[in-house]
A and B are shown apart, each in its own frame.
Chain A
Amino acid sequence: MKASAALRWFSRCYLTLIFTLLYVPILVLIGISFNDSRNPFVWGGFSLRWYDKLLGNGNLMEAALNTLWLGVTAATLATLIGTLTATALYRYRFRGKPLLNGMLFTVMMMPDIVMAIAFLALFIALGIQLGYFSLLVSHATFCLPFVVITVYSRLTGINPQLLEAARDLGASEARAVWHVLVPALMPAIASGWLLSFTLSLDDVVISTFVTGPTFEVLPLRIYSMVRLGLKPEVNALATLLLGLSLCLLLISQLLLKEKK
């Protein structure tokens, strides 16, 4: 079948092309992190000095771990609530759906800075001390619409009779959702989680306003290092962060992949 072979060949080329485009800046980044010279436009030889400098900076490392932990927990929280929201919107009839949709949409549309100040005012008014908790809750909130949209779009393609069958067979709502709906939604849930994690790792503005002195996160530090100094340690930091995220992923894969 010449047509399908050609199609497959074209597929592979296209995939490779896009991947290359995605990765070239990253590879440049990783490459520069090993550059001995301070000037990224001049190659000075292979060296680990920036990693050295970085790892010696306990402050920065702590902020990195804080950021990763925040990302994981915020993404998980957002995914949990987002999935519940999407399923509720799709399956249940209740009053106020337009309001719910409106609120989700508002979160997506509101610029970072506006949300940041609004959150700050809210936390102060409620007497919540600024720190990990305020960050967690803010991050989960702004990731929420992304999860809802992703999961909802997948829901529309699921056969509704599947769930009805489960209910008819006597399963409670909770069990039906857990054992039938969630597995069917898994790719969307996973996508939502990944998107949320990415968003959380990157957030500068909201984090700046909503965090307290006890919980320093990385994005603002990186933002300033890049802006103020072209500090080569930044590239080493980015590479390390990448590595750490990958490890996290591998660990979670191992935990989940038993008996396959």
Chain B
Amino acid sequence: MSLVRNPFKTATLAVIWGWLIVLVLAPTLLVVLVSLMPENTGQLLGGELSLSTLWQGFLTNYGQMISPVYLSVFGHSLWIGLITTLICLLLGYPFAWMISRASPRLQPLLLLLVIIPFWTNSLIRIYALRTLIATRGLLNDVLMNLGLIDAPLRLLYTEEAVIVGLVYMLLPFMILPLYAVFEQLSRPTLEAARDLGANGLATFRHIVLPLTMPGIIAGVLLVFLPAMGMFYVSDLLGGSRHPLIGNIIKGQFLEANNWTFGAAISVMLTLVMAFLLLAYYRSVKLFKREVTL
């Protein structure tokens, strides 16, 4: 289809490219530029811009990152992100499945019930969570009244509390894409499989899983990436004892006024994540090709 004979396609592409170039490419290039500047003042574009100063900046800012502090924070953030994503997947997958199997009239309602809690401000929700699991909070009160524990559990300010908070924040980001894909899985397909003699497990492995894989990937992306950056969850539920990479970046930008270094960390983070995701994507593609006949 040539562009002339397809005005819709032209218009669509124009809108998309226009939007992304102005609002994504330009700011991104700006960030990369800042990350290459040697000065660590709060100035965005001060000083001369010769190639040698940019190279200097590159060495200073990116070189600084190779240190045990940053590497450990990065590793820790990856770890937390991974666990959060896994838990969300384990909880969300069956959940999305069950919603998609409910009666069609009920489905939109159930979906809405999932997302409505998230229309209260997330900070307030974290706060409510805190009130629940605090030493003098509701959970401890109930447990003690029931005689299940003698002394209150110190649940707050632990890494576990951070993970619980993250899962709580990000669960719908896993459920919604999964639901969108499950909804496509028609009953006749599944019944056909059963008629052909496949039992539950085989149906799952060979039909359901591959067909829902795009949804899984979507959900993983939508949970894993934000999880690494939610610094306020780490602050409020973790007592800031286990900073995430998002905390570090915020610290560099706001507390240290070191915009150049903060920008460098962000760029690095993006590159590393892109690399990891590319590797993952390649491996999933192989998996898919193996499955489709």
* A163 interface residue per 8 A CB criterion: no
User: In the complex the two chains form, what is the Cα distance from A238 to B128 in whole Å?
Assistant: 11
User: In the complex the two chains form, what is the Cα distance from A173 to B9 in whole Å?
Assistant: 8
Q: Which residues of B sit under 8 angstroms from A1, Cβ to Cβ?
A: none
Residue pair B254, A115 in contact (C-beta under 8 Å): no
* A211 interface residue per 8 A CB criterion: no
Residue pair B8, A25 in contact (C-beta under 8 Å): no
Please tell me the size bucket of the interface on B: 35 or more
What is the 8 Å Cβ interface bit string for chain A, positions 213-226, against chain B (1 contact, 0 not)?
00000110011001
From residue A202, how far is it (CB to closest CB) to chain B in Å?
Answer: 5
Residue pair A40, B26 in contact (C-beta under 8 Å): no
Q: Which residues of B sit under 8 angstroms from A149, Cβ to Cβ?
A: 177, 218, 221-222
User: In the complex the two chains form, what is the Cα distance from A102 to B181 in whole Å?
Assistant: 24
From residue B250, how far is it (CB to closest CB) to chain A in Å?
Answer: 5
User: In the complex the two chains form, what is the Cα distance from A239 to B121 in whole Å?
Assistant: 10
* B214 interface residue per 8 A CB criterion: yes
Instruction: Give residues of chain A (156-177) contacting chain B, Cβ–Cβ below 8 Å.
Output: 156-158, 172-174, 177
B129 partner, pick from A25, A103, A118, beta carbons under 8 A = A25
Residue pair A172, B8 in contact (C-beta under 8 Å): yes
Interface size of A by Cβ–Cβ distance < 8 Å? 83
From residue A47, how far is it (CB to closest CB) to chain B in Å?
Answer: 18
Q: Please report whether the interface of chain B is mostly helix, strand, loop or mixed according to DSSP.
A: helix
Residue pair A246, B222 in contact (C-beta under 8 Å): no
* Partner-binding segment picked from B15-23, B52-60, B154-162: B15-23
What is the 8 Å Cβ interface bit string for chain B, positions 177-190, against chain A (1 contact, 0 not)?
10111011000000
A29 partner, pick from B1, B125, B181, B266, beta carbons under 8 A = B125
Residue pair A110, B179 in contact (C-beta under 8 Å): no
Residue pair A28, B124 in contact (C-beta under 8 Å): no
From residue A128, how far is it (CB to closest CB) to chain B in Å?
Answer: 11
Residue pair B215, A191 in contact (C-beta under 8 Å): no
Q: Enumerate the 6 nearest inter-chain pairs by beta-carbon distance, A residue then B residue, closest first.
A: A118-B27, A153-B214, A25-B128, A191-B176, A173-B8, A153-B218
